[in-house]
Every structure is written in C-alpha cells, then in structure tokens.
Amino acid sequence: MANSRSVRVVNFSPAELDERKRLILRAIVEEHVATGQPVGSRLLARVVALGLSPATVRNEMADLEESGYLESPHHSAGRIPSQLGYRFYVDHLMQPAQVPFDLLEVIRESLELKTRTVEAVMQQTAHLLGRLTNYMTVVAGPTAGASVLRRIDILPVDDRRAVLVAVTGGGAVHDWAIDLSTPLSDEELRYISEVLTRLLGGRALADVGRTVLQGLEDALAPYRDLLHVVLELLHDQGQAPGEPHLYQGGVANLLAHQEFHDPRLAMDVLWAVEQSPELRQELGQAGEPLVRIRIGTENVVDALSHCSMISVSYTVNGEWAGRLAIIGPTRMDYAHAVPVLQAVAEHLAGWFGRI
C-alpha cells in the first residue's frame, strides 16, 4: 500500500538560505566536526543563540535536509552535514581560526635548521603538518621542466672532478658529479659558474639546449667540453617526467578518525597518494586557486570520494614552487586546517627563498 504521509519538498539555492538557516547549518557542521556525533534539535537550540524552541529548530533542520544540506544517519534522530552542507560551509560560513603565536613559533623553529637538504626539509614539512593538523599530509614540489634556473655553481672536488649544482627559482637543488677533461683552477670554475648563471638564469630547465649554445660558446670558448656536459645534464633534467615528487606525513592519523576504522578505506587513500597519476597531476598543478578544497566526490580519484583534501600553493621568488595538502574525512576541521596550511606554506617559501 502506498505511503499516505505527505512529504514537504523544499529546494533552496545557496542565495536563498536565510540567516537563521545559515546559523543552524554552521552550528551543525562545527558541532559534528568537534564530536563526530549526529546533532539533535534540543542540543542545537542551546548552541544557537536565537531563542528558538527545539520544535522550530527541527523544522529548520527538516528544510535543510530536504534541500540536501543535511543527512539523517540510520538509527539516529540527529543530523549530520552532507557533502553539499560542507561545501556551503567552507564557501560561505567558515571563519578561519587565528593561528596562535606559539604554533607559529613551532612552525618557524621546525623549518629554520639551515643544515638540512631540500629533501629533508620537504619531508620535515610533511611530518610537521601531520602533527599540527592530525590528518594525513602530502607535500609536492614543482616538476623539473617547469623550474626556472636561478643559480648554477661548479664546485671543485679535486683536479679532475667537480660537482655541478643547479638551484631553481622554486628552491629545488639538482646536483651531478662530473669529470673534468683538463684540470681547472677554483678561479676558472668560479668564472664559468658566474657566466652560466648570468646567461642561463631565468630560463626554464625545459628550454635549456642547443638554442642557448651560441652565446655560451662565445663566452666560454676555452671550456667547450665542460660546457657541453653541463648543458646536456641540465637539458636532460628539464625533460624529466612531469610529475612532482610527493612527501608523505601523518599516515597513522587516518586510522585515528572513526571514518577510517575500516583499514581498507585507509589503504585506498594510501594507494591513491602513492599510485594515482591524476592525484599527482592535481598536486603538481600551478596556478589558481592558492587554496583549493575538494570535498567527497569533488576529488579527482574515486578512492578519495569519502575524504576531503585541502591544498595550498606556495611560491618562491615569484615562481610557483609546489603545494601542501592534507587528506582526512569530510568531517574535517576546515577552519583550523586552512590557516595552518597557509602558515606552513609561508614559512616553507621563506626557507627556500634564503637558500
């Protein structure tokens, strides 16, 4: 027999959510993020300072549910945010938290040890983000071909060996051991380095090749053999596959969230981070927006369809340098995570700018 209970269908566009509904939706998101539990009307009536009765709050919650902003978990009288509810929250309702001064000091101290290699700093950044946010973290640098050369040094090892070091605008450091066909003095290597930096600085690695050979040969004619070796190494690096190297941190944090108590779900996320070319492309993509929030099925791979991913770009010397990202359940503390990511990105960019 057909169900005779009448159903009230209400469809609100984002612009039509009035102030009362916005306050209720925001309170439900933040309460659910804090507790992990469905939010009931009685609790909400106490949380939202509107002087509303639980019955009135129930009606507003019913409207929000029928419009797709809330969901009703099985066997619960409370509501939780839907993917649409989270999206409306981060786009229209979220008020990013202020990063405390002591937390900024932790970030600064963690990234200011000058003896670390670039790889060590990137890995340290991933672990630091994991500690500060309690989510899984991924740190991506720029692809080699997109990197712009900033400085080139040839450092002596002995009379017949040297190390070629290329530093890009994004802060990445590439180095190669090279053999010298004839002994060269420290002064000669310093002169060659200065000429290479002057004539190649500002060029993308992918553009280094025969097109720049003529001017260099004129300036470095006595060192033609070494010049060809340097250009070949830089050119090959610029043609390397266009995928960023990813550094992971906070992997164990996934299992701490109730949404990932089934380890198979956590394994799906790990697989996506380690194997998915689409995700690598997403994290290695320059440009806007500087802050990108993917919620649920907005993610580029199905394995993250039950997750949220927040990523923040950072630049060094005006060049896009990479992206920091955190991955966790859609029940994520967005208001805390976004400013923390931005603060770490700013300090990481500062570290790269000083090397």
Predicted confidence (pLDDT) per residue in 39-60, tens digit? 988 888 777 666 778 888 889 9
**Residue 224 vs residue 207, higher pLDDT:** 224
- At 2 the pLDDT is 36
Amino acid at 172: A
pLDDT of 118: 73
SS (H, E, C) 39-83: ECHHHHHHHCCCCCCHHHHHHHHHHHHHCCCEECCCCCCCEEECH
Residue bearing the bigger pLDDT, 340 or 75: 340
Specify the pTM.
0.76
Tokens (6 digits) for 251? 């992997």
CA distance 236 to 240: 6
Mean pLDDT of all residues in 304-326? 89
Instruction: Provide the pLDDT for residue 133.
Output: 96
Q: C-alpha angle 340/314/100, rounded to 5°? A: 20
Q: What is the distance between the alpha carbons of residues 196 and 259, in angstroms, rounded to a whole number?
A: 54
* Closest of 284, 313, 311 to residue 298, by C-alpha: 311
Map out the domains of the chain with their CATH numbers: 14-93 (1.10.10.10), 101-142+243-354 (3.30.450.40), 149-238 (3.30.390.60)
89, 29 in Cβ contact below 8 A?
Answer: yes
Nearest to 71 by CA among 63, 82, 60, 57: 82
- Is residue 5's pLDDT more than 60? no
| CB 244 within 8 Å of CB 284 | yes
The rounded distance, in Å, linking the Cα atoms of 28 and 128 is 30
